[in-house]
C-alpha cells in the first residue's frame, strides 16, 4: 500500500515555510476531521459560507486587497457551489467546475500556491500558468478520494459537474414556472404573467441551444 502524505504533515510543512523566507502563501488542504488536521492558528481559512471561524472567498480577497492577510488555507474541496466554483475545466474524459480563488490569489495577488497531493506538496510560484494551477487542483481533488472516510467533502463533489448543474438548473426553472403560474392562478390572463412565462421559456430554450452545441 502506498503511503499517503498526510494533510497534517502538509500543514506542518507549510507552517515551517511561514518561518522561512516566504512572506505569504496560500495552502490548499482537504477537509478532514480537526483532530487529523493540526493547528491552523494564524491561518486565514477560506471555505464555504456558514462555518464558524472561516471566511468567504470574497471577504478574504477584500482583505488581501488591503494587504491584511498573508497566510491562507483554501479548502478547495468545499468550494463547489455554482456561485463559488465558476471556472470550467475540460479534461480528456470529463469536465468540472473549480473555484477561481486559487487562480486569483496566485495571478493577481502574487501568492505562491502550496497544494496538498497524496505524494506531497506541490508549490506553484506566483503568476503560474492557469493550466498548471487547474491541473494541480484537479490532482488535489482526485487525491482527496484516497483519504477514504477521512475526506469529509467527498459526497459534495458531484456538484462540480456540468451534468449536475444542468439538472439543478432545470429543476429551478420548473419551480419558477410553477411559482409564477400559482401566483397568477386567479388571474391567468393577466398581462403581467405572460412576459414572465415567456422569459422562462426563453431561458429554457437558450439552455437547450447551449447544451446541444
Which residues make up the interface to another protein (CB under 8 A)?
56-58, 61, 82-84, 86-87, 100-101, 103-104, 107-108, 130, 168, 171-172, 174-175, 178-179, 182-183
- Residues 31, 146, 40: CA angle, nearest 5 degrees: 25
> Can you give the C-alpha Rg of the chain in angstroms?
21
DSSP H or E run through 42: none
Whichever of 11 and 75 has its CB closer to another protein, that residue is 75
Whichever of 4 and 104 has its CB closer to another protein, that residue is 104
Whichever of 101 and 115 has its CB closer to another protein, that residue is 101
User: Three-class SS of residue 56?
Assistant: coil
53 and 45 in contact (C-beta within 8 Å)?
Answer: yes
Whichever of 84 and 143 has its CB closer to another protein, that residue is 84
Whichever of 179 and 206 has its CB closer to another protein, that residue is 179
Phi and psi torsions of 120, nearest 5°: 140, -170
Q: How far is the CB of 137 from another protein (least distance, A)?
A: 14
31 and 60 in contact (C-beta within 8 Å)?
Answer: no
22 and 15 in contact (C-beta within 8 Å)?
Answer: no
DSSP H or E run through 78: none
Q: How far is the CB of 164 from another protein (least distance, A)?
A: 12
Whichever of 56 and 160 has its CB closer to another protein, that residue is 56
DSSP 117-173: ETTEEEEE-TT--HHHHHHHHHHHHHHHGGGGGG-TTGGGGGGGSHHHHHHHHHHHH
Q: How far is the CB of 3 from another protein (least distance, A)?
A: 36
Q: How far is the CB of 12 from another protein (least distance, A)?
A: 30
Q: How far is the CB of 110 from another protein (least distance, A)?
A: 11
Amino acid at each position: 500500500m502506498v503511503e499517503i502524505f498526510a494533510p497534517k504533515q502538509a500543514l506542518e510543512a507549510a507552517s515551517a515555510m511561514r518561518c522561512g523566507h516566504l512572506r505569504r502563501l496560500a495552502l490548499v488542504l482537504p477537509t478532514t476531521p480537526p483532530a487529523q488536521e493540526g493547528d491552523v492558528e494564524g491561518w486565514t481559512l477560506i471555505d464555504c459560507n456558514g462555518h464558524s471561524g472561516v471566511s468567504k472567498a470574497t471577504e478574504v480577497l477584500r482583505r488581501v486587497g488591503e494587504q491584511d492577510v498573508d497566510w491562507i488555507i483554501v479548502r478547495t474541496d468545499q468550494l463547489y457551489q455554482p456561485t463559488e466554483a465558476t471556472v470550467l475545466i475540460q479534461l480528456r474524459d470529463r469536465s468540472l467546475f473549480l473555484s477561481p480563488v486559487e487562480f486569483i490569489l496566485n495571478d493577481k495577488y502574487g501568492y505562491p500556491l502550496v497544494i496538498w497531493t497524496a505524494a506531497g506538496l506541490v508549490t506553484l510560484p506566483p503568476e503560474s500558468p492557469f493550466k498548471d494551477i487547474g491541473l494541480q487542483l484537479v490532482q488535489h481533488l482526485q487525491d482527496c478520494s484516497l483519504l477514504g472516510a477521512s475526506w469529509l467533502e467527498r459526497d459534495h463533489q458531484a456538484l462540480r459537474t456540468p451534468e449536475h448543474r444542468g439538472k439543478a438548473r432545470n429543476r429551478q426553472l420548473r419551480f419558477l414556472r410553477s411559482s409564477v403560474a400559482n401566483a397568477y392562478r386567479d388571474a391567468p390572463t393577466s398581462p403581467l404573467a405572460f412576459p414572465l412565462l415567456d422569459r422562462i421559456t426563453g431561458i429554457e430554450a437558450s439552455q437547450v441551444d447551449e447544451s446541444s452545441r
